[in-house]
Every structure is written in C-alpha cells, then in structure tokens.
Amino acid sequence: MVTRCSTLRSRGRMLCVPHVWPDPGGSRVLGTMRILTLVLCSCSGKPASLPWDLPAISSWEHQGGLVFIHMESSLYSLPCSPIEMEVADPTYRWVQDRAAPRLFSVTKEGHLLFQHFQAGDSGKYSCTISYMKHGVPVSQTFHYSVFGYHVLGGLDTVLLFHSKLCEDEWTKRFLWGLQDKLRQLEIEQHCKLQLTASFCVPSLNNPSDEFIVQVQLEASLFGPHWDEQCNAQDMETVTDCYRKTVQHNLGQVQLALTRFFKEHKSFHVTGADIPSINFTNEFVGFLKTKQCSGGYGQTKQLQRCLNCCIVCPPGTFSPPKNSQCFPCPVGTYSLSYGVAFCTPCKDGMTTRVPGASSVTDCVKKERTKQDVSIMHRIPVLLLLILPALLALNFLFILSSCYWFYQEYQVSSPRASKMMGSTTRMEMVTSFFRIPSQGPQADPDAGPASDTSDLDTSDLDASTSQRGDEEPTHGAPSPAMTSNLATVTDEATPVLTLEDRKDTF
C-alpha cells in the first residue's frame, strides 16, 4: 500500500488528506502504514485521522437472557456480565426501561442488588461496562429480562367473633386492633398476615341482642427474611430449597395462629359514646391453598419450576386467587409488571386491541371497520329487501279484499231477507195491536207506544207455539191468522197514524 500526503487549505487551516492505494502485502504492513500516516499528516498540527474507517470507540451488545428472582428475596445479586471479565479499571452503568427514574444499589464489582424483591421490580435491565484496551475505549452492554416468581403455598384463615354491636365504626376499630396485635407474630414467623374481608350477621341463638363477626385472614409465607436458609446460587438447588422452606413455614404459621387465638380469646374496643365492647373469639379454621398471588400466573417460563407462578408482564393482569395471566380487555391497559387489575382509559377513549401496555394505546372512540362496513351495506340491503316487502304487503292487501268480498257476498242476501221480514212483521203487529207481553197479555191493555220496542224473536216463538194450541181469549181467530199470513207474503204498505184512525 502506498500513501501520499497532499495538503489543502480550508478556512486558514492545513488539512492532511492521505491517498491510499491497495497493495498485495495487505495486513503485513498495517502497523508500518499507521506510523507513516501519523508522521506525514503531522504537518497540520492537529490530531491526524486514520486512513481507514476505524471507530473511535468499540462497543458490543449482548443478550444476557432471562433472570428469575423469587418474590421477597432477602438479597439477590445480578452481575453485569454473565462471564468473568478481567479488565483494568472498569466502570459500570445500570439502566432500566421505565419512565420513572430509579436509584440502583451497585457493588464495586458491578453487581446489581435486589433486596425484598417485589413484582414491580421486574423489567428489562441493561448494564454497560466500559474500560480501555490498548489505548482505545471499549464498552460492552448486556441486556437482561428480569421476572419475579414464587412457589405455590399459602394459608387462608376464617375467624368468628361474638359481639353486642354490628356497626361498621366499631368493627373497623376491632380489626385495627387485631391487625396491630398480629404484627409481632409476623416478625417471628417471617410471614405477612392481611385481613381481606369481614362480615357481621345476627346470631342464631339470640338474633336481637348478639351478632357474629366473620373475619377472613390471608397468610403469605413470603415475609421479610423468609428465605434466609436458602443461599445457593444454582437455580435448581435454590428452587428446591424454596419449596421445602414454604412447606415448613406453612405448618409453623398455622401453629402460631392457633396458639395466638387461644391466648387472645377476647378483644376490647372502647369509645367515648359507649362502654367497652368485647369481641370474643369462638372459632378458628385453616385452609391450605396452592394458588398464585395477585399479578402472578403460571406461564411456564421457568423450566426448572413449571408449577411456579411468574409475574404478569405489562399488558396483562391476574386477579387474586387466579393462576393465569390474561390480556387487558379492550378499553384498559397495564403499565407495569404484576398488576391484579388493568387501568381503564379515560372517558371517550378506548384501545384498538386487547393487551395494551401503555396509556398512549388509548385513542378516541371511533367507528370500527366492521361498523363502517355494515353502515355501507345497509343501503344495498334495503334495496334488496324493500321490493320484497312491498310485494308481500300488496299480496296481503289483495287477499284481504278478496276475503272481505267473499264474506259480503255470502252474508248479504240472507241479511236483506231477514231485515225485510222483520220490518213487515213489525208493521203487522202494530196494525193489529198485538201486545208486547205475548199471548197472556191483558186484552184491555192499550197498544204499545212504540213498535220499535217489540221483541221479534219472542213474537216468532209465540207464533210457532200458537199454531198447535187452541185460540185463547184476546188472540186472533184462524181467519185472522190466514189473513196475517196473506199480508205477510204481500208487500205491506206503510201505515200512518191517520190511516189507523180511519180503519177503526
């Protein structure tokens, strides 16, 4: 390789621009060319640039893999590099991918320390180690995904107390006093005791003057320094130690609670308005559980402990006493690890898909593509369905008209004939002054005041019966009956009041 140095003037300064040609010797003269270039380019009085594209700093990115830390671990040390590196005067810098700044506890060797690990401590961590190598700054960055987990094991306790009152204020005072007295037991047994629920109901023996307060107490075996006996660094060994410790602590906590409530049979609550009230212990029951804590689920990421509960990542949640992480429903999101419930978006906003992990995923509600497509299809559907509906309505109207016409044709002659017969009968009855009371009416009774009040059905019935019986007093003679039949068959003229007078 042959190098020639030319000088150029730019803004009053002399710059050295080397010209490089390839040479078959290649790598053997690399060191020599570096020295020649530095010497020839020193004419500018400035730091010389190398003739080839060498970086000013060398850096590498490494994936450190997954790291699982048990919840409430007393102390966990995460090294910056997964392998031993012998470098001179290194510096370490730890960062986490979270918006809120956080102070880290880092040892002189660059190990990141976790004390009493919580679900929210999970996340993605990066450590950069910087040092000098042959006078050139070098840095290496290692990325880790840290997840909290816990082995299965817990204790649920049910407590029953007798009391003379069932008011929320006094029940809360009683629960505060009970929780305060349980603090010492938590420290001794390295556990956490939490009152989860309480109910007050009337007693069956004396409902009007005595009440029963039911209290649910949840015991978590992962209190401060619960794992002080498990110091192994091997993952499989330490997990087995955790299982044994949980089983041992489970029995110890149960015995300690039984002893505690035998010694504390009564709890006194005093107030300014009422005298001292006693909450007397009656029953203590235990239930051993193997369920995940809130915010944890059995995702089977930890191959050495498949039944262990792994913390739920952002975008998912797990309610208490559940063993699975679920994606956040549409309209909600979760920002951090290990949440039991997702956070809903603001009013008028929603998420497009389930599993949102940021508040920026919440957008204004708008019509979805499905709704828009349906709205576009409605006019087409109307054009297809409307003619069919109109045709059906038209056929229904025609059939209704035809049915009405047929009914009218059948019933019209009969109705006309009956109406004519009724009219003629009324005229004849009025003409002969037949009383409306029937054949037994008084002969001296006057004519009916109004012929429209006659009951033609009774008249027809009496007439049919009268044909078989003998004529009675006040009834028309056979000659009159024949005349009546003759008159009925003929067209009867309309008689007025003056005609009747002339007749008689």
pLDDT tens per residue across span 133-184: 888 999 999 999 999 999 999 999 999 999 888 888 888 889 998 999 999 9
For residue 433, which phi and psi values (nearest 5 degrees)?
55, 45
0.75 exceeded by pTM: no
In the block, tokens 């009405």 appear at 404
| Cα–Cα distance, 73 to 239 (Å, whole number) | 12
Q: How far is CA 352 from CA 154, 169, 332, in A?
A: 38, 45, 10
The two structure tokens encoding residue 428: 């004849």
- The confidence score (pLDDT) of residue 57 equals 58
Which one, of 489, 425, 501, lies nearest residue 461 by Cα? 425
> Quick one: DSSP state of residue 100?
S
**What pLDDT is stored for residue 451 in this prediction?**
39
Contact present, 2 and 36 (Cβ < 8 Å): no
Domains of the chain: which residue ranges?
58-150, 154-288, 294-366
Tokens 């006057």 map to which residue? 446
Using 50 as the pLDDT threshold, list the residues of the chain that sit under it. 1-55, 415, 428, 431-432, 434, 436-504
Q: Which residues on adjacent β-strands are paired with residue 162? A: 212, 280
Do the beta carbons of residue 311 and residue 338 sit within 8 Å? yes
Q: What is the pLDDT of residue 229?
A: 85
Q: Could you name the CATH architecture of 58-150? A: Sandwich (2.60)
Instruction: Look at residue 448 in the predicted model and tell me its pLDDT.
Output: 40
Q: pLDDT value at position 87?
A: 86
| Helical spans, DSSP H, in 41-123 | none
Q: Assess whether the region 58-150 and the region 294-366 belong to the same CATH fold.
A: no
Sheet holding 105-106, edge to edge: 76-78, 112-114, 105-106
Contacting residues for 21 by C-beta, under 8 A, at least 6 apart? 1, 2, 3
CATH architecture of 294-366: Ribbon (2.10)
The predicted pLDDT at position 328 comes to: 96
Work out the widest C-alpha separation in the chain, in whole angstroms. 166
| Alpha-carbon span 78 to 88, nearest angstrom | 21
CA distances, 99 to each of 96, 156, 184, 313, 361 (Å): 9, 37, 37, 16, 16
